Amino acid sequence: MHRIAGSVALLLAGCVPMAQEQAPVPPETVATAVADSISSPVKDENPGQFDWRQNFPGWYAAVTPYRIIGSGRTGIYYVGTEGLGIYFIPTSAGHILIDGGMPGEGQYVADAIRKLGFDPKDVKILLNSHAHLDHSGGLAELKALTGAQMIASEGDRSALEGGFYLGSEEDSSMKAPPVKVDRTIADGETLTLGDVTLTAHITPGHSRGCTSWTMPVEQGGKTYQALFFCSATVAANRLIGPPQYEGIVDDYRKTFAVTRDWKPDVFLTNHPEFAGMAAKREKQKAGDPLAFVDHTGFPAMMVKLEQAFEAALQKQTLKHNAIMEQ
C-alpha cells in the first residue's frame, strides 16, 4: 500500500490507489484512515506542491484497453489507468465517454480509444461522475481533442467550470482545468445517442452533484443492466464544522437509501479496485465471457460504505465537539 502523504491526497482519493493486481482495500478501512487525517489542515501540506504522480502512481499507470461486456463492436470498454476507471461506450451515432482521469491524461484516453479501433473524434458526449480532480482533470483536454458536448449535473457544474473542489476552493493542489458544461442533466433523465440510452441517477454526498449512470447492454443474446456508480466514500469530506457543502449528511443518507435495492448485473466504479475489476479481468482473459457479471458485489459494497459513513460522522462529531469545548 502506498504511503498517504497527508489529507490533501486523501481528499480526492476516496480509496487507497493500487495496482489492479492487488486485492482491494475494504472501504471501511480506507474511510477510517481518511477520517484520522481530517485534523491535519490542507494548508499545512503546501498546496499546489503535492506530487500526485509520485504518491498515486496507479492513477498514471497504463492499462491495455479492453471490452468489459458487449457483442461485436458494441458494449462497454475500459480506457482508464490502473487506478482510475474511465469508460467508453460506442454507439451507432458516435460515442460516449465517462470521466477523464487526471489533468494531462486526455491524450492517453484518446490513444486508448484508437487502440480499440475507434476514432476519438467520433466521441459526441462527455460525462462526468463527479467534479474531483482525479475524474474531471482530463475532461477539458478531451473536449478539445474530440469536440464533444460536456454533460453533467447542475450540482457539479460550478466546480467543473471553475476547476475547483467544492468547499476547498482555495486549495490550489486540488485544481483541475476548467471545462464548460454544455448541458445539465437531472435525476432520472435519459440520454440517448444512436442505439444506446443511459439514465442519470443523482447520488450526492461524495460530491454535491455525484452522478451514477445505468444502461442495458447485450451479450450472447441476453440483456444485462450495467451501473456506473459515482461514489459514496467520505474520503476527507467535512461532514460538520463546517460541512464541505450544506446538506452533505442528508445527501449521503439519501444516496444510501436510494441505492439500497439496486442490484445491477454489472457494476463499474471510477476507482476499479472497489469493483474488484482486476480479478474480473483476469477471469475474462482466462476465458470467462461473463466475468464482470456480479449480482452481489454492489449491495455488499454499499453496506460497507454506509457503515463507514456513519463511523466517520460519529468520529468527526466527537472531534468537533471536543474542539468547541476547548
pLDDT score recorded for residue 26: 45
pTM: 0.88
Kindly give the pairing relationship between strand 94-98 and strand 123-127: parallel
pLDDT score recorded for residue 98: 98
Element (H, E) at 162: helix 154-162
- Determine the residue type at 85: G
| One pLDDT digit (tens) per residue for the chain, 326 residues | 233 333 444 445 544 333 333 334 444 343 333 333 332 222 333 445 789 999 999 999 999 999 999 999 999 999 999 999 999 999 999 999 999 999 999 999 999 999 999 999 999 999 999 999 999 999 999 999 999 999 999 999 999 999 999 999 988 889 999 999 999 999 999 999 999 999 999 999 999 999 999 999 999 999 999 999 999 999 879 999 899 999 999 999 999 999 999 999 999 999 999 999 999 999 999 999 999 999 999 999 999 999 999 999 999 999 989 888 87
Map grid coordinates 482466462 to a residue: 286
CATH placement of domain 64-325 = 3.60.15.10
Domain boundaries, the chain: 64-325
Map grid coordinates 475489476 to a residue: 277
Question: Which distant-in-sequence residues (6+ apart) come within 8 Å of 209 by Cβ?
Answer: 130, 131, 152, 153, 154, 155, 156, 157, 159, 202
